[in-house]
């Protein structure tokens, strides 16, 4: 029974990693389209998103194992962002400032789309509750 729970947890982690990879790739592509970056195709952005996701997850897991606590989580995320900005700048031939702008645009686009999805889903759920 314990082995099945462990396998289920590993599958859940893999599915979450794939979801975050696709999510980050989509919004990183949107952010890169606002700059004069090279290699802005989906196939070029996917390895960048993979490296950023892998670096971020590795830092969070390592910091959580060795230094548990919320402040260490924040430090891991900040170090991960710096590494991601370096990866974005190197892979897409833009400066570090442009990599930061790409990240900000990607976050703003993600927040806007998530808010729109929440409004649509809550409206549909409210309509279904009203009908039934």
pTM of structure: 0.78
Q: Where are the domains of the chain?
A: 2-131
Higher pLDDT, 21 or 129: 21
pLDDT digits (tens, 9 = 90+) for 36-94: 888 888 888 999 999 998 898 888 888 888 877 888 888 888 999 999 999 999 999 89
User: Residue 1 pLDDT more than 70?
Assistant: no
b/e sequence 18-52, b meaning 16+ C-beta within 10 Å:
eeebebbbbbbbbbbeebebeebeeeebbebbebb
Please tell me the distance from the alpha carbon of residue 49 to that of residue 114, in angstroms, as a whole number: 19
Instruction: Scan for tokens 């195709």, then name that residue.
Output: 41
């Amino acid at each position: 029974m314990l082995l099945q729970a462990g396998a289920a947890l590993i599958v859940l982690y893999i599915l979450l990693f794939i979801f975050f990879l696709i999510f980050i790739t989509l919004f990183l592509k949107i952010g890169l389209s606002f700059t004069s970056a090279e290699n802005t195709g989906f196939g070029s952005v996917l390895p960048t998103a993979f490296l950023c996701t892998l670096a971020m997850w590795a830092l969070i897991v390592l910091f959580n194992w060795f230094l548990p606590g919320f402040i260490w989580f924040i430090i891991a995320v900040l170090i991960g962002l710096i590494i991601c900005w370096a990866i974005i700048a190197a892979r897409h031939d833009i400066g570090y400032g442009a990599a930061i702008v790409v990240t900000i645009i990607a976050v703003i686009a993600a927040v806007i789309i998530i808010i729109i999805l929440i409004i649509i889903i809550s409206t549909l759920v409210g309509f279904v509750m009203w009908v039934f």
